[in-house]
Amino acid sequence: MSGPAIAGLVASGGFAVLVLVLAVPILKLGRTIDETTKLVASLNERTAPLITDLDTTLRQVGAQLERVDAITTNAQTVTTNIASLTSLFAATLGSPVVKVAAFTYGVRKAVTGRRKADASKRVAQEIKDERRRGRHEKGRR
């Protein structure tokens, strides 16, 4: 065997070792890609029902929001009707009731004032009578 033949054998042996060393990571990379493919397929199978359920849930939420909107509209209508009824009641009965209340207050004040005046007159008369009695008694002593 000549020198170039031995160099060729060494070079080919080194190339074979290099191919073997590089083959191991390439095989592992192939397995990783296979597992990733299986994972993506599994994820796709699980995601489709979730999206369907999510769509159903969103439709139901939309229906409930429409109901809430209807309830809110009805509550607003009832509030408006109550406000109108209150205004009508105040306009119809408010003025006469206020007048009756004012009249009643005035009569009560007048009666109370008379009672106080009568009581004041009685007290003043009693004071005068006591003073007169006191003067008569002093004069007798």
Q: How far apart, in whole angstroms, are the C-alpha atoms of residue 123 and residue 121?
A: 5
Please give the chain's pLDDT, 141 residues, in tens: 788 888 888 899 998 998 888 898 899 999 999 999 999 998 888 888 889 999 999 999 999 999 999 999 999 999 999 999 888 877 777 677 778 888 888 888 888 877 777 778 888 888 888 888 876 666 665
pTM, 2 dp:
0.39
